[in-house]
């Protein structure tokens, strides 16, 4: 009795492995796109607001709403007003 031997040439094996890798990457990519989309809900305090554009979420806060530089200077004593410089970063 003779046994049958099956052989796969190296380039055929390499082709099968490469096709399998491309299929696995494609399936993972599309599965990730389908599952990866989530609804985003941002909870912020009343002095903050959020803006969602695409994949970016921007949260901006103003802890001193309706406060001007003049109002801040009124809180300081006269000596402190002369020595302090107020810088606003927006």
Query: Would you state the pLDDT for residue 88?
Result: 63
Q: Which residue has the tokens 């003779």?
A: 2
* DSSP-assigned letter for residue 64: S
Which of the residues in the chain have pLDDT under 70? 1, 37-40, 63-65, 69, 77, 80-81, 84-90
The model's pLDDT over 12-31, given as tens digits with 9 standing for 90+, comes to: 889 999 999 999 999 999 88
Give the pair of three-digit tokens for residue 50.
């959020």
Give the pair of three-digit tokens for residue 64.
């001193």
| Pairwise CA distance, residues 27 & 66, whole Å | 53
For the question of whether the overall pTM of this predicted structure is more than 0.75, the answer is: no
The alpha-helical segments, DSSP class H, found in the chain are: 10-36, 69-75, 78-83
| Pairwise CA distance, residues 47 & 64, whole Å | 8
Give the pair of three-digit tokens for residue 5.
């031997």
């Amino acid at each position: 009795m003779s046994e049958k031997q099956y052989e796969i040439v190296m380039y055929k094996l390499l082709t099968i492995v490469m096709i399998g890798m491309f299929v696995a990457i494609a399936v993972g990519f599309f599965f990730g796109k389908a599952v990866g989309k989530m609804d985003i809900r941002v909870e912020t305090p009343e002095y903050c607001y959020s803006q969602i554009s695409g994949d970016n979420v921007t949260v901006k806060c103003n802890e001193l709403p309706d406060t001007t530089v003049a109002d801040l200077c009124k809180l300081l004593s006269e000596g402190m007003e002369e020595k302090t410089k107020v810088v606003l970063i927006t």
